Structure 1
Amino acid sequence: MSASPFVLPYHGILPVYPDLLRAGPRAALIGRVTLGPRAALGTLALIRGDGHVVEIGADFHLGDWGTVHIAHEMHPAIVGDRVTVGPDAVVHACTVGDDCVIEEDAIILDGSVLENGVVMEAGTIAFPRSRLEADTLYAGAPAKPVRRIDAAERAARAARIRALASAPPPPPPAGGAARLDIHSTTFIAANSSVSGAFKADAHASVLFSCTLDARNSEISLGENSNIQDNSLVRCPDGPVVVAANAVVGHNVVLESCTVGTGSLVGTGSRVAPGTVVEPDVLLAAGARTQRGQVLESGFLWGGNPARRIAPLDDKKRQMIPWIISTYCEYTADFLASQHRAAQRASFG
């Protein structure tokens, strides 16, 4: 059965996806993506190739809210045949061999290599430049080998993930319920959902497959800041404020919190209500804050619950403006592409 995901080019290059079996509601393929035959994409699943390429083999499965992305001009995402990726997992700028299974909420970070037949248990994080050995089960953060795994157990784990029921269709994209106060250069991806009051300054962006729900409060995004793919932002106890020049990574959850200028919230993090991320903070991938926690400026924080790990050095500080600059370039291209697509649709 064929399917039609949301598709957008990058620098004029469209994804290639022959014989797509299924695309759930608001699943998206963006830019320089080559997807092998018989792929299945869950609800809000996202594969994005902009500053580098994504190449994926046959029989790929990406669960609900799963994300595949690259690192600008440094690392592509290369995925082999018969790979299974569970819900809310992130495959980022890495190489994944054949027959791998990446369970729910697992994260693979830049430059990592998974050899054939690796299984990552739910919640496992492969830190940057990790190498995971073939036919081995991994768990923990950072990922550590647990034991060898045979083909039968690996197939059973893959089958469990592929059999998971898809999430119900999410609300429609930004429209009647949204109250937008945004600059003309703000980018909101067409397959992202915004409800309630949302304010954004120049060159701010909400990337693909995100859900923003302000309820009776407000979400605000400062100049040049971005909320990356498959992130969930909501306001159960008050507003969410993301200051200028801040980065919110892939598959993050922000709830009634503040993210300060020049800070980065890493992939897969969960920021609890009342959290204050002060300016000049780096929150590591997969971290979890506690309600009302204050993350002090000038430090790398990580873990569950989040704790101070080390002072930020110049190398880490330089990473954030580089990401900001790169994302401003990405989203200017996406904004123009999305505008052209809307114009074509309006003319039938």
Structure 2
Amino acid sequence: MALIKSVRGYTPKIGNNCFLADNATLIGDVVLGNDCSIWFNAVLRGDVNSIHIGNRVNIQDGSVLHTLYQKSTIEIGNDVSIGHNVTIHGATIKDGALIGMGSVILDHAIVGEGAIVAAGSVVLSKTEIKPGELWGGAPAKFIKMVDPEQSKEINQKIAKNYLMYSDWYKTDGQSNK
């Protein structure tokens, strides 16, 4: 069963039809929308500031989300996929964005709607990735514009697949909600 822990008077709020893996951890001021999935060993640590997540977001295995005390929050829009082993620290991720495996997104960075951050990238503090852009590298740099329809198709396919995967676990009686 997932670890859901209150701290400083904040208890995580979990939307409808969410899947929390058995060893996922949600702490403090964390708000999940509907149809989200938080996968194995993912940690959403809203102990020092807030983490607000929209609908149909998947946060894959080993990812860590955290913030800076009184300085940064995490805001994640709808239909976002956060790949395996991603670190997001006090950043904003807009609707339909895709964050590739092993990426690091630092404080006050903004990843625009439908944007893609390539696997293994390091998005530095205060970087703004505009809608539909593909960024990659360490530090991450603009690579090219992504066709909006292609980006939407890729990102929505991943988001829908993760809804399907989470249903497999719910069918087997492993769901927490």
The residue aligned with 1:188 is 20
The answer to whether structure 1 residue 329 and structure 2 residue 159 are counterparts is no
Deviation at 1:277, TM superposition (A): 0.5
The residue aligned with 2:142 is 308
Contact 1:208–1:230 (CA<8 Å) still a contact in 2? yes
Deviation at 1:324, TM superposition (A): 0.9
Q: Gaps spanning 5+ residues in structure 1: where?
A: 1-5, 7-171, 343-348
Deviation at 1:181, TM superposition (A): 1.6
Contact 1:257–1:272 (CA<8 Å) still a contact in 2? yes
Match of 2:11 among 158, 179, 183: 179
Q: Deviations over 1:164-183 (max 9, x none)?
A: xxxxxxxx822344612221
The answer to whether structure 1 residue 210 and structure 2 residue 42 are counterparts is yes
Deviation at 1:315, TM superposition (A): 3.4
Superposition CA RMSD, Å: 1.8
Fraction of identical pairs, as percent: 25
How is 1:43-82 mapped onto 2 (pairs within 5 angstroms)? none
Query: Equivalent residue of 1:194, what SS?
Result: strand
Query: Equivalent residue of 2:3, what SS?
Result: coil
Contact 1:185–1:332 (CA<8 Å) still a contact in 2? no
AA at the equivalent of 2:40: F
Match of 1:338 among 164, 174, 177: 174
How is 1:1-348 mapped onto 2 (pairs within 5 angstroms)? 173-177=3-7, 179-236=11-68, 237-313=71-147, 314-336=149-171, 337-339=173-175
Q: Gaps spanning 5+ residues in structure 2: where?
A: none
TM-score by length of 2: 0.89
Structure 2: how far apart are the matches of 1:318 and 1:289?
Answer: 24
Structure 1: how far apart are the matches of 2:84 and 2:101?
Answer: 5
Deviation at 1:278, TM superposition (A): 1.0
Deviation at 1:333, TM superposition (A): 2.6
Contact 1:200–1:223 (CA<8 Å) still a contact in 2? yes
Q: How many residues align?
A: 170
TM-score by length of 1: 0.46
Structure 1: how far apart are the matches of 2:76 and 2:129?
Answer: 14
Contact 2:37–2:59 (CA<8 Å) still a contact in 1? yes
